[in-house]
Structures are given as C-alpha cells and as structure tokens.
Structure 1
C-alpha cells in the first residue's frame, strides 16, 4: 500500500519533526514491511493546501494520513475536501489531538474515512490489515467511521504499556537537512534555540495528573521507554544525523526522578553531549537541587515550568494543584544554577476574576523567569473544563483557531477586559531592562534571536504569538516535490 503522512500548514509557528507520523511509520514498517511510506511535512515547508493538494495528487497515494491539533480543524477539513476531489479513490485518515477530543466533528466530514482516537499505532496496524484482507472494522477499537450512513464509534484502544514495542521514530523519512537549514519554520518549540541541528524527542507518554483543561491523547498513566531504548535513539541522532541540540517533549519528564537521573547518567557514560531544553512544562515541585545540577552538567540550558495560575483557588479548581511557594523556590534554584526558565500561564478559567488574573501576572513578574507565555484558556471539547462550562450554561459553540484569541470566554471578566489584561501581562513582564538583558544573555549563539525578538514584539504590541494567515510565509517550491524528500 502506498501511504503518505502529512500535517497541513497552519498558524502554528513551530514545526518540530512530525513524531506522531514517524512513530506510526516505524511501527507498521516493522510489522508489515511491504508498504511504501512517505512523510511530507507541509507545516515546516509553509506549503498551503492548494500546493499541497498538487503534491499529493502527483504522488497518488492509496492512503493519506493527516494529523491535526484542534486549532487546525478547518485547514484539515479543507485539505481533505481538496484531496477527495483530486483523488476520489484515496482513503483519508485523520488522527491527533483534534479527532481525539472531538471525533464527532471529525467524522462528520464525509471526506474523512476514519478518525483515530488517542494513541494510534495498534489501531492503525489493525485497520491496514483489515483493508488488505477485507476484514471488519467493527472489531477495531480506537477509531470512528461511517457504515451504511451511520457513525460507528469504537471507543479507545488499550494503550501500549511497553513503549519499547514501538521502534525508534522513522527519522529517515523526514528531510532533516531542510529542517536544519532554517529555510522553513523553526524546528523547535524553544524560541531561542542554540543550534540549527536540533530535534525533538519523546521518552514517555501519558500524564497521571488530572488537569481539567488538558488533552487525553496518551492517557492518564505514565508509560516509559527504557533508558536503553532512549539512548539508542540519541546515539543515532548524534552519530548518523549530526544533531547538536535536543528538546524533550514529554508531558512530565521528571515524574520519575530516578529515571531522569539515569538517562542523564547514561548520556554521560556514552559520550552523548547535546544542548538540551524542556519546552513542554516540567512539574515544578518535582525538581530538587540534585536533579537541577544533573541537568546543568548534562547540557540543559532551558526549562519550562507549567504554573498556569498564580491563584490558589484556581489551582484547586483546575486540579493542577501546584505548590506556588515551592515553584518560586525551584525557579530560583534554576536561576542559581545557570539554567534559563520559561513559565506557562493561562487566564480565562471558569468563573475566574480580575483579581485572580492579577495574581497570575504578579507571580510571573516577581519571579526569576526569563520568558513567560500567557495563553487565554481554550476549553477544548471533551475536556473536564469544557463539560463544566456546559453544565454552567456557557455557550460553547465557538470554533477554536488560536490559543491567544478568545474563542470562548467562560471567566467572570468581559472580553474587552480579558484581552487588555492579556496584553498587559506581556508588557509588565518584558518591558524591563533586566528582563531584556537576561533574554539576550540566555541566547549567546543568536540562532533563534530574531525569532525571539519578533515573538516579543508581537506579544507586547498585539497580544498574539501567531502571525496572521497571510503573513505566515511563502510557499517554498524548491522543497515541495515529494521526490526531493529524503527517504
């Protein structure tokens, strides 16, 4: 079977390697071996849907696999419609956070043949085998599809407990040379990366916490790759592809602190030296000085902590339950040990007040954080906070397109005031000489400096991280042809 994986271009400003598609490709390549697999990353290439449709039509896949965040729902459905018109016999699958959180909306589009819910490897393999053998999809969990005019939702598939069953992602299917050239979107979530040769890695899946606003793609149980499996991938990335910088994208890399120590000890033993960041939000209270010193010795220069709110009441409401005093202590410890720290914050929680938003802003301003990101809450379908808002009688009919826009306001602050406070958060945090100096000092290599400066100006003066659609960037035709993608 000829299978093409892609993700559409959107207003998302970073394009780390498409690890979901790479994992699926590696998994089925190991277990089937006969498929022709390609990955074309439209996001990193700035390839808009009209051009992307031409590329797909020229390749003529039997199966197109799309992945999308919830804010990419519209661009994904637009692409599916274009491809079905160009290739009526091509099957189109949709996976990722969007169909997981809202499978009904995903499969309502008749251009989507199957929507995948949650972790996809096992379901994907079973669907491919069923298509080859004429089998019944009704016995395959983890998918939603249509049959005889009815929508069939088979629920979630059991998660893979032993992540070593999934091979190292198929790095050979992505064009790392182009990613490293920085001609496309930046390849890391970190806005101030030190090296062009930078990639993202997952070492765990899942999160045991119950934050009411969070996704459930990988479940609420922490599952781990073995240290040997992680080190195997890191060796390959450094020795085969010349990678110099890593970002670990685990939801909570430091949940198992003993394992965190073990991975960094093995990296040192194996002579694996990288600059390292944690952009996805470590659990702040699960840091201590011993682990921070181990991180520093192992090349970590940038850590993100997910605080979300400076209000104790909101912390309990959203079930985040961060110890705010301990979080400030550990931010100070990171600064003391020379590790730059970024903080994630949100505003607009259910029934949140102006005073509680001010508590969040004050927490950030008074801290030793170098970077702070302030988001307006986006209550995605089927999250606990979404259901709470429905029960409270809130209108939840909006379309979600931007983490910085007000899609649905479920707080006690009106839209105008919420937007004003969002912009004020950036101004109060960044417009100090000390903070500007710390940002410049944190990025001596200057690789991502202009990206970082552009980010700061957009946030301070517009309140948006994302650029408007017509400003995102040009199509880059010299990288558009699949024949030019490395295999």
Structure 2
C-alpha cells in the first residue's frame, strides 16, 4: 500500500493533558479534503487519541510508503513534531517532510534551522499552499517562489512571501473526517462522540496573550449559515454524530449571522456548544442559541480585576462579564469560565479578587490557566524584550507550568495558588449540592478530572 501524502498530528508530551482533552486536528482534516479533491491519496495519523509511540509511527510510515509527509505543530508539540520528522527520514530520506501549524508558522526560520529532517514550513492557512507544494513535487517542479512557504535552498533558509488569506471559506471542502478515528473524540466530561466544526476564521480583537491574528489575520471571515448547516447534516447522516463543538474563537461576533445560523441548526436536531466573548452576546441572542440546541457556552473571563483585564488588552469590563453569565443562566445554558492567573501586574490581592469573582459568577465549570506567553503574541514579545522568560522548553508551555518570572511570586507559590484555586471552587458545598440535585453527571465527571489534576500537582 502506498499513498501520496501522510498527515501526522504528533504525540503530546508525557507531562501533558489527559486523552480526555484531546481534540480533532481539523487543520489536517481540511488539508486532506483539499488534497483528495485534487485527486491525491491521503491518510491522517492522529497520534494522541491512538496512543501512538514513535515506533508505531515509524511502522505506519513504512507500511504506507508516503511520498510526502505533513506534520502539525503547536508550541506544546513542536519538539515532538521535529522528532516525527526525524523518524520519517529514518524510513526514507526520499520522503519530503513539511511542518505546519501555529508554532512552525510563527517561528518558521528558527524551527527550520533546528532540524536536518524538515524540508520546509507551510505558514498560516495551509490549504492552498500545501496543495501547490504537493502538485509541484509530483510534477518535479521547483518549490521556489511558492507563497506561504519557508524552504531550505542550498543549505540556506528562504522565506517566500506570505500567501493571501482565503476570502471565500465556503469554497473549501468539508474536513476529511472519514480519515479520523471519530470514536475517540468525546465532548468533555461526556460519553457521547463529539465533532468539531469551524464556522469562521480570524479575530478583530487585540488580546495580548493570543496569536490568532498572526495566523488568520485581524479580519473576521465567516462561512455562510447554509454551508455550515450542510456540513452538520453530513456529520449527522454520514458519521452518525449529533453533538457539535464549534471551535471558532468568537462564535457570535456577527449577531445577524449567528441568528441565521441558529435558524438553520434548529432544523437539524443537534446539540452543540461554542466559545465567545462576553461583550459579543445579549440576553435575546443567548435565548435564541439555547432554543437552537446550544447546551453550553465557554467565555474567556480571564480575570475579575479590571486592571489586569486592561493589561491583557482584553477590551471587556467586569460588569459585562457579570451580565453575560446572568443572561446565559437565564437562557438555561451551562457556563464555562476560563481564567488566566499570574499575568504581568498580578498580585496576591488581584488573584484573590478574581477567585472571589469566579465564585460569584458560579459557572458550571471553570478552568484556571497559568499565563503562558506563546510565540506570536504581544505577551511573548514583551517578556522577551524584558528578559523575563525563564523557560524555552516548549513542552512546558502547557498553561499549567510557570515559564516566566513574575514579581511577588515564586514558581512554587504559583503552582500552589493554581491548585488551590481549583480546590476552593469545586469543593464548595453549594456547588456540589447543585450538581447532585441536577444529576449533572457529565459536569461532575469533568469537575472530578480537573480537581484530581489540581490535587496531584499540589502534592508534588
């Protein structure tokens, strides 16, 4: 058996999240769909849910004999992605290996310089660039001047011009989900299978801790409600899945579009969840979403202290956060709050203020993240200039591990406060009582997972 292209999502670091948090590699599934539409044979190997080791990967590559391999990368997985490239070249030096994804796109020259085994980097949106690369290799043509590509040419690294973003997202074929182990992906804390859907790309906001604008630009580009509805219909009919997780950065940015999309989704009898900003919703919109099958909404709260929110460039107020949570609860939606602790400017006083605020909001779930300066963010650039970064082992950039120095806190104190934040929120008698009364077992399961993680860290 031989294929033209093998796409690989590398294993997670051994110190990383449980498989319960593994999500579908939609980027690879989109690449595969574009390649298949052009007549190329493709396979996807998603290592995390399959527990594949490097030896397993090597055996798989040997069995498929691909001509080209594409490897995805995040900051957390970049070291493992480079190891995958090495493993592939051990099978055959004739196989061309390309890296893509957030980390490789942003630190493309540094990443390419680190590895003898990577032939090039596909930057940003990869659908058009990677298809062009595959076509040129198959036709024996030079890759020079390929937009969106960083390449090694005569032992020198050459960065060709950026490729324009894809304007018509409806023109991209639906992800090749038939190449993924869909039975391995579950909605967090639930037994039912879940499928991820991306209905838009790009974000116009300027949060200093986020790198989305470096990948997808500041312009918000959205698919049409009809196109999204057809994809969901395919998911139900072909894959027999009726739980959808929208992975847009801001699902409700365009309210008129959101309402039209809800009208379409309502006809399909699916349940779903999404993520958005607190200033991008109102009471009526949340009711409309709930009536269309939305069960849960994830808000980036980040902090309960206005000065810290301002430091982050978040562009929201504490009062907007309160209103959004009240509206969501009135609509009958489960709420999830994401909190970032230890952002520059943070003190023990601001942290206690945030922890009190989270208990006041009383979301169904909360996740506490340790501020992590990912490459491509203003946060990272500022710390780099100030010499505050203490860690460049990318496998520790997991939002659970302190990687920079913050005045007023030792690393041990950060870990202790982080774990105690989980314990103090989830072990409240009223919180536990409400979940028992509601017989909300999925939420309880998710809570127990996060509580165990916090206690385990605290006892180290």
Q: TM-score, normalised by structure 2?
A: 0.92
Please tell me whether residue 22 in structure 1 is matched to residue 24 in structure 2: no
Conserved 8 A contact 1:198-1:244: yes
* CA deviation after TM superposition for structure 1 residue 317, in Å: 1.7
Please tell me whether residue 191 in structure 1 is matched to residue 188 in structure 2: yes
* CA deviation after TM superposition for structure 1 residue 335, in Å: 1.6
* CA deviation after TM superposition for structure 1 residue 395, in Å: 3.5
Query: Structure 2 CA distance, aligned partners of 1:320 and 1:148?
Result: 44
1:115 to 111, 116, 121: 121
* CA deviation after TM superposition for structure 1 residue 92, in Å: 1.0
Question: Once the two structures are superposed, what CA deviation does each residue of 1:241-278 show, in whole Å capped at 9, x if it has no partner?
Answer: 2112111000000000111110111122xx30112112
Q: How does 1:185-334 map to 2 (within 5 A)?
A: 187-188=185-186, 190-193=187-190, 196-215=192-211, 216-268=214-266, 271-278=267-274, 281-334=275-328
Query: Structure 1 CA distance, aligned partners of 2:231 and 2:376?
Result: 34
Conserved 8 A contact 2:147-2:160: yes
1:89 to 94, 117, 122: 94
Mean CA deviation greater in 434-443 or 414-423: 434-443
CA gap of 1:99–1:463, structure 2 versus 1, over 3 A, is farther
Please tell me whether residue 50 in structure 1 is matched to residue 65 in structure 2: no
Structure 2, gaps ≥5 residues long: none
Q: How does 1:353-392 map to 2 (within 5 A)?
A: 353-392=347-386
Query: Structure 1 CA distance, aligned partners of 2:439 and 2:197?
Result: 22
Question: Once the two structures are superposed, what CA deviation does each residue of 1:432-460 show, in whole Å capped at 9, x if it has no partner?
Answer: 1222234456674x468645422322124
CA gap of 1:90–1:391, structure 2 versus 1, over 3 A, is same
Query: Structure 1 CA distance, aligned partners of 2:7 and 2:41?
Result: 11
Please state whether the residue corresponding to 1:428 is helix, strand or coil: helix
Conserved 8 A contact 2:79-2:394: no
Mean CA deviation greater in 240-249 or 131-140: 131-140
Please tell me whether residue 348 in structure 1 is matched to residue 354 in structure 2: no
2:168 to 134, 159, 162: 162
CA gap of 1:412–1:131, structure 2 versus 1, over 3 A, is farther
Conserved 8 A contact 1:348-1:409: no
Conserved 8 A contact 2:73-2:101: yes
Give the equivalent residue in structure 1 for 2:111: 106
How many residue pairs are counted as aligned between the two chains? 448
Question: Once the two structures are superposed, what CA deviation does each residue of 1:91-130 show, in whole Å capped at 9, x if it has no partner?
Answer: 1111111202321332121111111211111111221222
* CA deviation after TM superposition for structure 1 residue 353, in Å: 2.2
Q: How does 1:125-136 map to 2 (within 5 A)?
A: 125-136=131-142
* CA deviation after TM superposition for structure 1 residue 75, in Å: 1.5
Q: TM-score, normalised by structure 1?
A: 0.87
**Bigger relative contact order (CA 8 A; separation at least 6):** 1
Conserved 8 A contact 1:203-1:250: yes
RMSD: 2.1
* CA deviation after TM superposition for structure 1 residue 424, in Å: 1.9
Give the equivalent residue in structure 2 for 1:485: none
CA gap of 1:104–1:442, structure 2 versus 1, over 3 A, is farther
Please tell me whether residue 138 in structure 1 is matched to residue 144 in structure 2: yes
Conserved 8 A contact 1:144-1:153: yes
CA gap of 1:157–1:367, structure 2 versus 1, over 3 A, is same
CA gap of 1:411–1:119, structure 2 versus 1, over 3 A, is farther
Give the equivalent residue in structure 1 for 2:409: 413
CA gap of 1:414–1:113, structure 2 versus 1, over 3 A, is same
Q: Which contiguous aligned blocks of 4+ residues in structure 1 show a shift greater than 6 angstroms? A: none
CA gap of 1:124–1:208, structure 2 versus 1, over 3 A, is same
Conserved 8 A contact 2:35-2:41: no
CA gap of 1:437–1:302, structure 2 versus 1, over 3 A, is farther
